[in-house]
Amino acid sequence: MRILVTGGAGFIGSEFVRSTLGGELPGSAGTRVTVLDRLTYSGNPANLAAVADHPDYRFVHGDIADPVIVDEVTAGQDAIVHFAAETHVDRSIVSAAEFVRTNVLGTQTLLEAADRNGVGRFVHVSTDEVYGSIEHGSWTERSPVAPNMPYAAAKAGADLLALAWHRTRGLDIVVTRCTNNYGHYQYPEKIIPLFVTNLFDGRPVPLYGDGRNSRDWLHVSDHCRAIQLVLRGGRAGEVYHIGGGTELTNRELTGRLLAACGAGWDMVTRVPDRQGHDLRYSLDITKIREELGYEPRVAFEDGLAATVAWYRANRPWWEPLKSALVPS
Ligand SMILES: NC(=O)c1ccc[n+]([C@@H]2O[C@H](COP(=O)([O-])OP(=O)(O)OC[C@H]3O[C@@H](n4cnc5c(N)ncnc54)[C@H](O)[C@@H]3O)[C@@H](O)[C@H]2O)c1
Look at residue 328 in the predicted model and tell me its pLDDT.
Answer: 42
The architecture (CATH level 2) of 2-181+217-242 comes to 3-Layer(aba) Sandwich (3.40)
Catalytic residue status for 129: yes
Specify the 3-state DSSP secondary structure of 134: coil
221-252 pLDDT tens trace: 999 999 999 999 999 999 999 999 999 999 99
CA of 279: how far to CAs of 129, 138, 153, 214, in Å?
A: 11, 13, 17, 6
Question: Length of the chain, please?
Answer: 328
Start-to-end Cα distance in the chain = 44
Backbone angles phi, psi at 312, to 5 degrees: -65, -40
CA distances from 278 to 19, 44, 216, 309 (A): 32, 29, 13, 30
Q: With contact defined as beta carbons under 8 Å apart, do 173 and 126 qualify?
A: no
Beta strands in 234-276 (DSSP E): 239-242, 246-249, 268-271
Q: Which of 5, 63, 83, 220 to mutate to test the pocket of ligand 1 (most atoms within 8 A of CB)?
A: 83
- Determine the Cα–Cα distance for residues 25 and 42; give it in Å rounded to an integer: 24
Nearest CA-CA partner of 218 in 296, 309, 161, 102: 296
| Residue 23 · residue 54 · CB < 8 Å | no
Amino acid code (one letter) for 173:
I
Distance from C-alpha of 156 to C-alpha of 150, rounded to nearest angstrom: 10
3-state DSSP helix/strand/coil % of the chain, to nearest 5: 45, 20, 40
Q: pLDDT below 70 — which residues of the chain?
A: 326-328
Q: For ligand 1, which residues put their CB under 6 angstroms from it? A: 6-7, 9-13, 36-40, 42-43, 63-65, 83-87, 102, 106, 125, 127, 155, 178, 180-181, 187
Q: Where are the alpha helices (DSSP H) in the chain?
A: 11-21, 67-74, 89-94, 97-99, 107-116, 150-169, 191-200, 220-233, 250-260, 286-292, 300-313, 315-323
Q: Is the dihedral of CA 143, 140, 186, 202 positive or negative?
A: positive
Among 15, 37, 63, 128, the active-site one is 128
Helix (H, G, I), strand (E, B) or coil at 127: strand
Q: What is the pLDDT of residues 105-139, one digit of tens each?
A: 999 999 999 999 999 999 999 999 999 999 999 99
Report the separation in Å between the CA atom of 4 and the middle of ligand 1, taken as the mean of its atom positions: 15
Distance separating alpha carbons of residues 58 and 38, to the nearest angstrom: 14
C-alpha 83 to ligand 1 mean position (Å): 5
Which residues, 6 or more positions from 116, have their beta carbon under 8 angstroms from its beta carbon?
71, 74
Strand partners, 268: 205
Active site residue 128: yes
315 φ, ψ (degrees, to nearest 5): -55, -40
Nearest alpha carbon to residue 247 among 220, 273, 222, 281: 281
Q: Report pLDDT for 274.
A: 86
Residue 326's pLDDT is what? 59
Q: How far is residue 82's CA from residue 64's CA, in Å, rounded to a whole number?
A: 10
Pocket test for ligand 1, best of 4, 5, 6, 11 (most atoms within 8 A of CB): 11
| Closest C-alpha among 8, 47, 19, 56 to residue 297 | 19
Give the nearest ligand 1 atom to 12 CA: 16
Catalytic site includes residue 131: no
49 Cα to the center of ligand 1, angstroms: 18
CA distance 307 to 313: 10
Helix axes 300-313, 191-200, angle to 10 degrees: 50
Cβ atoms within 10 Å of 73's Cβ, excluding its own? 22
Q: How many CA atoms lie within 13 A of 66 on its CB side?
A: 12
CA 23–ligand 1 middle distance (angstroms): 23
The pTM of the full predicted model, rounded to 2 decimals, is 0.98
Residue nearest to atom 22 of ligand 1 (CA): 10
Q: How many A from CA of 6 to the centre of ligand 1? A: 9
